[in-house]
Each structure stands twice: as C-alpha cells, then as structure tokens.
Amino acid sequence: MCGIVGVISDEDCQKYIFDGLKLVQYRGYDSVGICQKNNDTLKVDKVKGLIDKLVCKTSNLEGCKVAIGHTRWATHGSVCEENAHPIEGKDKEWVIVHNGIVENYQQLMCNLQREGEVFKTQTDSESIALLLSLNNFDDPIKNLIWTIKQLKGSYAICAVKKESNNYIYAAKNKSPLYAFCNDKITMLASDPICFPDGDYYKFEDGEVCVAKKGEIVFYNLNGVVIEKQKQKFQPIREKADKGDYEHYMLKEIYETPEALKNLTKNFLNIDIKNIKKLKFSNVKLIGCGTAYHSCLMGAIYFRKFLKIDAEAIYASEFRYGDYVIGSKTLCIFVSQSGETADTIAALLKAKTKKAKILSFTNVPYSTISSLSNIVIPISAGPEIAVASTKAYSCQVAGLYLLVMALKGEKHYYKALKQVCELANETEKFFINMADFAQDIAQKQKVFFIGKDSDYVTALEGALKLKEISYINCSALPAGELKHGTISLIESKTPIIVIITNKNLYEKVMNSALEAKSRGGKLYLISYKPPEICELENFEFCLSLPKVAQPLLCVVSILPLQLLSYNVSVLKGLDPDKPRNLAKSVTVE
Ligand code: F6R
C-alpha cells in the first residue's frame, strides 16, 4: 500500500517525482525514495521519513532523463532506510518500485537463495528486483513478463534498467497504475492526480508496458502489443493545499459545511427512480473504519424511516462471513477513497451473489465507483489528512438524503440545508474544544458513551481520538457500561457523554451517573444545556445548535473531531500523519 510515480522527461525529472510523491503520500509515508537514470547510470536515494528529508538528501544526476519514486507503507520488513524503495536487484542492474504484496515471496526467496542470490532487504519486493536479472532475454520487457509470471499477489511495478534505453517498464495486477504521455513528458503513477491535465491510460490487470519519451507501448502477458483507449480527462480530484491552516485536518473540519452544500447540490442530480427500480427488500451497508461508522448510521436511517431490514458490516468481515444476501439485497459500499482493498473484495463477493451494488465514494474514477451499478458522490472535495472528517459527515448526510428521497419526502434536502448554515459554529466548537483538550491530553484512557445514533458518534469520536493522539479510547452503548467495562473506571477517568435524542436523555444520564459514582469525570455534548441542578455532575458541557434530530449526528461529531485535533497538537504530534497509518488502505 504505497505510492509510486515514474517520469520520462528531458528536464526536471526530480521535481516531477517529488511533486507526484507528495500527491500520493496518502498511500503511505513511512519512507520515501527516488532512482534517477541517465543512459548508463542509476542513482538511488532513499530515507526513512518524509519527502522533505529526501529532497534535502538528493542531488541531481547529470543528464537525468528518467526517474522512479516511491512512498512506502510498510507491510513486509520494518520501517528503515534499507527497506525503503527503490529496491536494487543483483549488481544494481535493475531498480524497481513496487506497490502491493508478493504473497509467494517466501517461496521465491528460497528459490532465489538456492540460486545464490543474496537478499539485502527484508522486503517481499526484493524478490521482483532479483528475478528481473535472472534471465538474459533480448528485450527487457521479456524479463518483466517472465518475472511477473512468477508472482502471486498484487503489484504495480515500475522498473528501470542500467545501461539501457531511457525507458520505464511497468506492470499491474490488483494494485492501481495509470500512465500519461504527451510530447514533453511521459508519466506512470498510482493515481492520475499526479499527471498534467489530459487524457490518460488506466492499466488493467495483466497488462505491462514500456514507457518511452512520447510513446507508451502496452503488451499482454503473451508479449503481444495491445491497443488501449485513453480515459477521458475529467478534472480529477482537486489538488488541495493547506491554505492558512496549520494542518489539513483542521482545514478539512472547517470545510464541512461547504462540503455538505456540494453534497446536496450533487445529490439532487441523482435519479432516485433508478434506485427504486432495483427492487430490494433488505440492505447491507459495508465499509471500513470511519466509513463503517457511516454505514452504522445509514442502517439506523433505513430501519427508522423506511422500516427496511438494514445491517452495517465491516468489509473485512463481510469478505469471509456467511451473510445472507441475494438479488433482493441492496449492498451499499461506503468508501472515501474508493480504493480500500477489503471494501473492493467485499463488493466483488456481493456481485457474485447477484446483490444490487450502490456505492458512496469521494473519487469518481476509483475502483469502487467503476464496479458499482449506481454511484452517489460523497462530494467532500479532497481529503488529505489521514483521519477522515468532512468525508464522514458527507457520507452520513448522503445516506440520510438517500433514505429521505426513497421515502418520497418532498423537500428532503431542506433539513440538511440548516446544517450547512452552521459554518460559524465550527469556530465556537474549536474554542470550547481547545480548552477541553488540555484536560484530555493528560489522560491514558477515555470512554465515549451514547445510545442509538449517539453510540455511533461515540464510536467515531473514539476512533478519531485514538488514531491521532494515541490515547486508548473505547466507545460503548451507554447501557453496556455496567456489563463489564465499568470496572475500568477509576478516579478521574474521562467519560464523554453524547445525547442528541431527548427521548433517551434520562436513560443515558443514568448510565453516566453510574460511571461518575465510580470516580469517573463526565463531559457532556448534548442537544440541550443540562438543568442547573445537573450542572455539578459535569466537568464540561457543550450544547449543540438546533437542527432536525436525525441530522444532529452530523453536528455532534464536529466538536469531537476538533477535540481530537487539539489533543494531538497539544501532545506535539502531527494530526495529519499519525504513526503506522495511511489514508488509503489498499492491502488486505
Ligand atoms: C479513520 C479513517 C479510516 C478510513 C478507512 C476506510 O479516520 O479514515 O478508518 O475510514 O480506512 O477508508 P475509505 O473510506 O477510503 O474506504
């Protein structure tokens, strides 16, 4: 799960690689590297850490006409300079960058060692670099085709060869790879966002290519040249910058009201009749992490407003579980990136069971979008920070719009318009949460409780806080505390209580007070201020602005996102790039 970029250009190769790597850094940022090539020489530079460190380290190779770059999310082998890509093969003849997992690498390693090859890294990718030199074919593309026929698993590979033409050899199976070519520049990348504006090629599994200046020649695995159509250029994911914000995450939280406006506008173009025509009687909502939390919220909407049997399932569980689905099942896949490996695999499984496939994604050209019968754009705009914020709000709001439209509500989008008007509230939340964060930043553990949709908000709030502050956080349905977890409550353990439904106020409050009586400290986020007589129970209270109850969850998550952000910053961490994570999880 890494980002790769390759470039052939008479000038500025290094710059193109660095700019491209910055754009695919969402795929991983444990280490980063570049290989520059002129006709004869290959020069590799790599570092553990971020691109700016590589930029400082890398000098220009004179006459450089080709370069490949890689930003890594470690799967095989620890995070260190040695395991960073590009990876060099025997005698540094071939140098490769690889995204994916070579599943049979142990077997390949044994075979290669028997042939006398020496592994210098702990990566599965090195087997590719070594295999490339094993034969002496007349054309290097044959080395690549022979090599990938030995591989099991997923790969997008860009390879360069010493003392040969200024070409890049590339191959793809299951991991994304795109190519671009005009008379000035030829590029390969994990995401077309790296390319200049213009039509580009999307590799299919089992395709390889030789990329040259002004030309890309594609082959199938029999070595036969194939003709490929270009994908029509559509303004790809906008390229975002931080503006005046210190971090992308903060900027993206503040962008939520605008993103919700775009969602509403784009949703009105969806032909609901086409969805009704799918004639489904039950719904499965499938996603991972934050997107799974959106699915939980969507399932609540389907059950509450349409009285339809609806269930949210983790994509990684759906893949291997015995869920009952068939042609009457509508499977809704939710994914910001549209490239999450578990979600893609779950979707393919649902297809084999003849389920109807609808997806919510933020990337119109993503794999999940292209595999779905109907796609509803999340419309959140680029989300760069690893922790998902505005995309979550748009996913939840989008599911609400879908359910309301299916219900036949005439002015279903009006309630959401109210939420879009709340731009000023974000600043108020920020100020409140900056204060509250001082307290939380000192803690080792934090609990979040709520009921029904507030339990989902608790789950998402807890995920956000643990993800970027490394504090151990748990979320529970309020009534579940007493069934075991309450034993973890000690003096001053923080419990964040979320209440957006007045019918549940007293029930949740009772659970909160049980925790308080064991020494816990209560922090309240609620649709209304507490009564004066209740005030002494809380260290902190935040009351939410008035919007339609089913959409209060889109508002109540904002202060929790801002709390996480502030805690992360107070702890001196980088909220945009939490350790061990990547924005797009493209491996199982
Ligand atoms: C958490 C987060 C992840 C993603 C998950 C699914 O802040 O961002 O949990 O939600 O990896 O990613 P997508 O939505 O791209 O499928």
Reported as a single tens digit per residue, the pLDDT across 455-467 is: 999 999 999 999 9
Residue 352 is predicted with a pLDDT of 95
Identify the active-site residue in 2, 181, 209, 541. Answer: 2
pLDDT band at 39 (very low <50, low <70, confident <90, very high): confident
Note the pLDDT tens digit of each residue in 304-332. 999 999 999 999 999 999 999 999 999 99
Residue 233 is predicted with a pLDDT of 77
- Rounded Cα distance between 292 and 317, Å, is 11
Phi/psi for 225 (5° steps) reads: -65, 135
Over residues 72-100, the mean pLDDT reads 94
Return mean pLDDT, the chain.
94
Residue bearing the CA closest to ligand 1, atom 3 = 289
Which atom of ligand 1 lies at the shortest distance from residue 336's CA? 14
Q: What is the pTM of this model?
A: 0.89
Over residues 432-444, the mean pLDDT reads 94
Residue bearing the CA closest to ligand 1, atom 9 = 289
Note the pLDDT tens digit of each residue in 195-210. 999 999 999 999 999 9
Residue bearing the CA closest to ligand 1, atom 10 = 290
- Distance (angstroms) between ligand 1 centre and the Cα of 378 equals 13
Note the pLDDT tens digit of each residue in 131-167. 999 998 999 999 999 999 999 999 999 999 999 999 9
- Annotation says 394 is catalytic: no
Residue 551 has pLDDT above 90, yes or no: yes
Which atom of ligand 1 lies at the shortest distance from residue 389's CA? 7
Residue 363 has pLDDT above 70, yes or no: yes
* Residue to mutate (ligand 1; options 1, 388, 394; most atoms within 8 A of CB): 388
- Distance (angstroms) between ligand 1 centre and the Cα of 462 equals 14
Residue 236 is predicted with a pLDDT of 60
- Distance (angstroms) between ligand 1 centre and the Cα of 334 equals 9
- Distance (angstroms) between ligand 1 centre and the Cα of 116 equals 43
* Residue to mutate (ligand 1; options 191, 288, 393, 473; most atoms within 8 A of CB): 288
- Rounded Cα distance between 363 and 336, Å, is 7
Over residues 392-404, the mean pLDDT reads 97
Which atom of ligand 1 lies at the shortest distance from residue 585's CA? 11
- Rounded Cα distance between 72 and 97, Å, is 10
Q: Residue 342 belongs to what H/E stretch?
A: helix 341-352
- Transcribe 546-579 into DSSP letters: P--GGGHHHHHHHHHHHHHHHHHHHTT--TTS-T
- Rounded Cα distance between 191 and 365, Å, is 10
Residue 421 has pLDDT above 90, yes or no: no
Whether the Cβ atoms of residue 441 and residue 575 lie closer than 8 Å to each other: no
What the block records as the tokens of 15 is 């710059």
Which atom of ligand 1 lies at the shortest distance from residue 292's CA? 10
Binding pocket residue ranges, ligand 1, CB within 6 Å: 288-291, 335-337, 340, 343, 387-388, 463, 467, 584-585
Residue 411 is predicted with a pLDDT of 86
- Rounded Cα distance between 580 and 481, Å, is 30
Give just the sign of the alpha carbon dihedral 295, 300, 306, 312: positive
Q: Does the bond joining 86 to the residue before it have cis omega, within 30 degrees of 0?
A: yes
Residue 235 is predicted with a pLDDT of 62
- Distance (angstroms) between ligand 1 centre and the Cα of 248 equals 16
Q: Which residue has the tokens 């608790």?
A: 458
Residue 78 has pLDDT above 70, yes or no: yes
Residue bearing the CA closest to ligand 1, atom 8 = 388
On the 0-12 / 13-18 / 19+ scale of CB atoms within 10 A, 142 is middle
- Annotation says 583 is catalytic: yes
Over residues 278-293, the mean pLDDT reads 97
Residue 238 is predicted with a pLDDT of 63
Identify the active-site residue in 22, 37, 521, 583. Answer: 583
Residue 392 is predicted with a pLDDT of 98
* Of 2-16, 173-187, 525-539, minimum mean pLDDT range: 525-539
Residue 584 is predicted with a pLDDT of 81
- Distance (angstroms) between ligand 1 centre and the Cα of 289 equals 5
Which atom of ligand 1 lies at the shortest distance from residue 289's CA? 9
